[in-house]
A = this chain, B = another copy of it.
Amino acid sequence: MESIRTPKQQRAIDTKNRIIRAGYELFAQKGYYNTNTAEIAKQAGVSTGIVYGYFHDKRDILIDVLDIYIDQAYAPIFAVLDQFVAPLDFGTVLPQVLDAAVKVHRDNAAMHETLHALTSQDKAVEDKFLALEEEVTSRMTAALQEAGYHSDHLFEKVHWAMDSVQSFAHECVFDQHGYIDYDALRSIVESTLLNLFV
- The answer to whether A192 touches B195 (Cβ under 8 A) is yes
List chain B residues, Cβ under 8 A from A187: 153
Complex interface: stretch among A11-19, A62-70, A75-83, A111-119: A111-119
Given contacts A33-B33, A120-B110, are A180 and B192 in contact (CB under 8 A)? no
- The answer to whether B153 touches A188 (Cβ under 8 A) is yes
Query: How does the 8 Å CB contact mask read for A178-198 relative to B, with 1 for contact and 0 for none?
Result: 011100110111001001100
Given contacts A153-B184, A160-B188, A164-B164, are A119 and B130 in contact (CB under 8 A)? no
Rounded to whole Å, the gap between the CB of A108 and the closest CB of chain B is 12
- Of B38, B160, B181, the residue contacting A156 (CB under 8 A) is B181
- The answer to whether B2 touches A38 (Cβ under 8 A) is yes
List chain B residues, Cβ under 8 A from A130: 175, 177
Asked if A25 is at the interface (CB within 8 A of a chain B CB), the reply is no
- The answer to whether B167 touches A133 (Cβ under 8 A) is no
Asked if A157 is at the interface (CB within 8 A of a chain B CB), the reply is yes
